[in-house]
Structure 1
């Protein structure tokens, strides 16, 4: 089961994210909720693979073997011993994936598959503003907001990686 799930995640990760999200939204129908579902499905493989790698790494540590030897149940072993040590890379991945989610959601909105009017969304605002671009420069402000939000989440992700990665603290 584990191998099949990982191979399915490999298949999902091999496809371009925007194309896969657009396909999912085309199946589910346009709308903000369906766009969010599509973006979550597109971003899921990176979390699954990262969690799998982190758990495999932690399970080979001596403290896990010691907890297993004193009779810890599998649930207690995972929740109290392994999970807290796997959270740091997942938190960093989440902060970095927020920027991808913002870009994908804005792209789906720009293509008309995201939030439907009158719901405000940056991609939809940019799509509606393209006809006024030569006369009104300020219609590009939703694009600037996308840029700033993506930049902010990437910087937060880099800062969290620097703060939470023990290998970087040693050097």
Structure 2
């Protein structure tokens, strides 16, 4: 319960603001970005997983398995995990799109990799200087971000459709 309250505190901050604060505290570089985005998005996945697991534990088939004498590990492996995986995988793919946007934002703000490293956010930052003369310099990384996020959302939708037993014919 204490861990969930700590996760609630982390989730109470706006994701990008918390990521900026953590990345700024850790300094620039790839590791600080990964750590900042992990601190921001891992509590969301943990809370989702816990909620689904608690929901599955109240189902009748879990109660029946307990009544038949199944061990906690068996119930976890046979009932809880298989019913949690699909939702967590789908939501994680959607969070990955958010993480991509957040990484681009942090790189744009100068908290990402050092300038020789080509990140989409740093490319957009460099392109803003030439927006009047060469707007296509910003169009390509911006389009890449948009298409990547759109593709990840479509992927999450497709995974949900493939894993949802109610949609199978």
The two structures have a TM-score, normalised by structure 2, of 0.91
**Residue 48 of structure 1: aligned partner:** 46
**Residue 87 of structure 2: aligned partner:** 89
Describe the superposition over 1:23-46 as per-residue Cα deviations: whole angstroms up to 9, x where unpaired: 111111111121011111111122
The secondary structure found in structure 2 opposite 1:90 is helix
Describe the superposition over 1:78-110 as per-residue Cα deviations: whole angstroms up to 9, x where unpaired: 123210111111011011001100000000000
| Cα RMSD (Å) | 1.6
Bigger mean CA deviation after superposition, 157-166 or 14-23? 157-166
What displacement does 1:125 show? 1.0
From 97, 100, 117, the equivalent of 1:99 is 97
Describe the superposition over 1:101-124 as per-residue Cα deviations: whole angstroms up to 9, x where unpaired: 000000000000011121111001
Describe the superposition over 1:133-169 as per-residue Cα deviations: whole angstroms up to 9, x where unpaired: 21112211111100110111112222333333345x3
Residue 161 of structure 2 is aligned to residue 162 of structure 1: yes
Counterparts of 1:51 and 1:103 in 2: how far apart (Å)?
Answer: 23
The secondary structure found in structure 2 opposite 1:134 is coil
**5+ residue gaps in structure 1?**
none
Number of matched pairs = 167
Residue 21 of structure 2 is aligned to residue 23 of structure 1: yes
Counterparts of 1:115 and 1:72 in 2: how far apart (Å)?
Answer: 50
